[in-house]
Chains A and B, each alone.
Chain A
Amino acid sequence: MSRVRDFHGKATRMLQRLFSFKGGVKPQTHKTPSVQEPIAIAPLPSRLYVPLHQSIGGAANPLVEVGERVRKGQVIGGADAWLSAAAHASTSGTVLAIEEHLAAHPSGLPTLSVVIEPDGRDEWVERTPLDHRSLPPEQVREALRDAGVVGLGGAVFPSHAKLTTAAGVAVEELVINGAECEPYMSCDDVLMRERAEEIVRGIAIFRDLLAARQVLIGIEDNKPEAVAAMQQAVEQVGEDYQVVAVPTRYPAGGAKQLIRVLTGKEVPASKRSTELGVQCFNVATVYSAYRALAFGEPVISRIVTLAGNLERPRNWEVRLGTPLRDLLALGRPKADTDRYLMGGPMMGFALPSLDAPVVKASNCIIAASPTMFAPSPPEMPCIRCGACAEVCPHELQPFELYWFSRARNFGKTQEYHLFDCIECGCCSYVCPSHIPLVQYFRFAKSEIWSREREKNGADAAKARFELRNAREEREQAEKAARLAKGAAARAAEKQARAVVAVEPATADSAADSAADSAVSVASPPLKPVDAPAPVAAIAPASPAPPEAPAPELDAEAIKKATIVAAMERARAQRAAVQPRNTDQLTVEQKRQLAAVDARRAALQAEELEEAAERGAARASVETPKQVEKQGRTAE
Chain B
Amino acid sequence: MITALVVMALGAIVLGAALGYASIRFKVEGDPVVDKIDAILPQTQCGQCGYPGCKPYATAISAGEADINLCPPGGMDGVRKLADLLGREVKPLDAEEKPKQLAIIIEETCIGCTLCIQACPVDAIVGAAKQMHTVVESLCTGCELCVKPCPVECIEMRPITENLENWKWKYPVIEIKPVKRAA
**Which residues of A are interface residues toward B (Cβ below 8 A)?**
53, 103, 105-107, 109, 111, 378-379, 436, 439-440, 442-443, 445-447, 449-450, 453-454, 457-462, 464-465, 467-468, 579, 581
- CB of B28 closer than 8 Å to a CB of A: no
A461 pairs with B43, CB closer than 8 A: yes
Q: Is the interface on chain B under 10, 10 to 19, 20 to 34, or 35 or more residues?
A: 20 to 34
A441 to B78, CA, bound (A): 24
Chain B contacts of A107 at CB under 8 A? Answer: 162, 164, 167
Q: Are A443's CB and B169's CB within 8 A?
A: yes
**Is B123 part of the binding interface, using a Cβ–Cβ cutoff of 8 Å?**
yes
Least CB distance, A320 to chain B, in whole angstroms = 17
- Report chain A residues within 8 Å CB of B172: 379, 436, 439-440, 443
Q: Per-position contact with A for B159-175: 1 when CB-CB < 8 Å, else 0?
A: 00011101111111010
- A442-B169, A468-B123 provided; 12 other pairs, C-beta below 8 A? A106-B169, A107-B167, A109-B163, A443-B168, A443-B169, A450-B166, A453-B166, A458-B41, A462-B54, A464-B139, A465-B54, A581-B130
Q: How far is the CA of A450 from the CA of B54 in the complex (A)?
A: 21
Q: Which residue on chain A has the smallest CB distance to residue B44? A: A461
**Is the CB–CB distance between A53 and B129 below 8 Å?**
no
Chosen A-B contacts, 7 in total, with CB atoms closer than 8 Å, are A107-B167, A109-B162, A443-B170, A462-B38, A462-B43, A462-B54, A465-B54
Consensus secondary structure, chain B interface:
loop
Name the distance in Å between B76's Cβ and chain A's nearest Cβ.
14
Which residues on A sit within 8 Å (CB–CB) of B54?
Answer: 462, 465
Q: Determine whether the beta carbon of A461 is less than 8 Å from that of B122.
A: yes
Q: In the complex, what residues of A have CB within 8 A of residue B53's CB? A: 465
Interchain nearest-CB distance for A474 vs B (Å) = 15
| Cβ-neighbour of B128 out of A443, A459, A581 (below 8 A) | A581
Q: Are A461 and B139 in contact (CB under 8 A)?
A: yes
* B168 engages A446 (CB within 8 Å): yes
Residues of B within 8 A of A379 (CB): 172, 174
- A453→B170 CA distance, assembly (Å): 17
B121 interface hit (Cβ, 8 Å): yes
Asked if B114 is at the interface of the complex by the 8 Å CB criterion, the answer is: no
Q: Whole-angstrom distance between the alpha carbons of A525 and B141 in the complex?
A: 32
Q: Specify which chain A residues have a CB less than 8 angstroms from the CB of B170 in the assembled complex.
A: 443
Among B43, B44, B121, B171, max chain A CB count under 10 A is at B43
B129 touches A439 (CB 8 A): no
How far apart are B135's CB and chain A's nearest CB, in angstroms? 13
Instruction: Give the nearest-CB partner of A51 in chain B.
Output: B164
Which residues of A have CB within 8 Å of B171?
443
Known contacts A378-B174, A458-B42, A579-B130: does B167 contact A464 (CB below 8 Å)? no
Residues of B within 8 A of A442 (CB): 169
Q: Does B45 contact A (CB under 8 A)?
A: yes
**In the complex, A440→B141 CA distance in Å?**
30
Contacts of A467 in B (CB 8 A): 123
Top 10 closest A-B pairs, CB basis? Answer: A458-B43, A442-B169, A446-B168, A439-B172, A462-B43, A461-B43, A464-B122, A107-B167, A446-B169, A443-B169
Interface string of B136-157 (1 = CB under 8 A from A): 0001010000000000000000
Flag if B129 contacts A579 (CB, 8 Å): yes
The residue in chain A whose Cβ has the minimal distance to the Cβ of B118 is A472
Closest chain-A Cβ to B43's Cβ sits at a distance in Å of: 4
Q: Tell me the complex Cα distance, A53–B165, Å.
A: 11
Within 8 Å by CB of A459, from B43, B124, B164, B166, lies B43
Chain A residues whose CB sits within 8 angstroms of the CB of B38 once the complex forms: 462
Q: Per-position contact with A for B37-69: 1 when CB-CB < 8 Å, else 0?
A: 010011111000000011000000000000000
Q: Contacts A107-B164, A109-B164, A579-B129 hold; do A465 and B45 have CB atoms under 8 A apart?
A: yes
Closest to B170 in A: A443
Please encode chain B, from 106 to 134, with 1 for each CB lying within 8 Å of some chain A CB and 0 for all others.
00000000000000011110001111000
* Residue numbers in A under 8 Å from B169 (CB-CB): 106, 439, 442-443, 445-447
Enumerate chain A residues within 8 angstroms of B163, measured Cβ to Cβ: 109
Q: Report A-chain residues with C-beta under 8 Å of the C-beta of B164.
A: 53, 103, 105, 107, 109, 111
Min CB distance A404 to B, Å, is 13
Alpha-carbon distance between A461 and B140 when the two chains are bound, in angstroms: 8
Known: A461-B43, A461-B139, A462-B43. Contact between A450 and B168, CB under 8 A?
A: yes
State the Cβ distance, A376 to closest chain B Cβ, in Å. Answer: 10
Minimum Cβ distance to chain B for residue A347 (Å): 14
Q: How far is the CA of A604 from the CA of B167 in the complex (A)?
A: 51
Residues on the B chain within 8 Å of A105, using CB? 164, 167
Q: Is the CB of A464 within 8 A of B168?
A: no
Q: Which residues of the partner chain B approach A378 to less than 8 Å between Cβ atoms?
A: 174
Per the bound structure, the CA–CA distance linking A436 and B123 in Å amounts to 45
State the Cβ distance, A582 to closest chain B Cβ, in Å.
9
Q: How far is the CA of A500 from the CA of B139 in the complex (A)?
A: 60
A55→B138 CA distance, assembly (Å): 22
Are the CB atoms of A465 and B122 closer together than 8 Å? yes
Taking CB atoms, residues of chain B closer than 8 Å to A443 are 168-172
- Which residue of the partner chain B has the closest CB to A437? B172
Q: For residue A446, which residues in chain B have a CB less than 8 angstroms away from its CB? A: 167-169
In the bound complex, residues from chain B placing their C-beta under 8 Å from that of A461 are: 43-45, 122, 139, 141
Residue ID in chain B nearest A408 by CB atoms = B171
B42 to chain A: which residues have CB within 8 Å? 454, 458
With CB as the reference atom, state the residue of chain A lying closest to B53. Answer: A465
Residues on the A chain within 8 Å of B124, using CB: 464
In the complex, what residues of A have CB within 8 A of residue B43's CB?
458-459, 461-462, 465
Look across to chain B and name the residue whose beta carbon is closest to the beta carbon of A471: B123
Contacts of A439 in B (CB 8 A): 169, 172
Chain B residue nearest to A106 (CB atoms) is B169
In the complex, chain B residues whose CB is within 8 Å of the CB of A459: 43
User: Nearest Cβ in chain B — how far from A593, in angstroms?
Assistant: 12
- The CA-CA distance from A446 to B166 in the complex, in Å, is 9
Complex contacts, B162 vs chain A, CB 8 Å = 107, 109
A235 to B165, CA, bound (A): 46
Cβ distance B34 to chain A, nearest Cβ, rounded Å: 13
Chain B residues whose CB sits within 8 angstroms of the CB of A450 once the complex forms: 166, 168
B window 74-99: CB within 8 A of A = none
CB-CB < 8 A to B167: which residues of A?
105, 107, 109, 446
The residue of chain A having its C-beta at the shortest distance from the C-beta of B41 within the complex is A458
Chain A residue with Cβ nearest B161: A109
B171 CB, min distance to chain A CBs, angstroms: 5
> Distance (Å) between the CB of A505 and the closest chain B CB?
50
Say whether B121 contacts A468, CB under 8 Å: yes
When the two chains form their complex, are residues A460 and B139 in contact, meaning their CB atoms are under 8 A apart?
A: yes
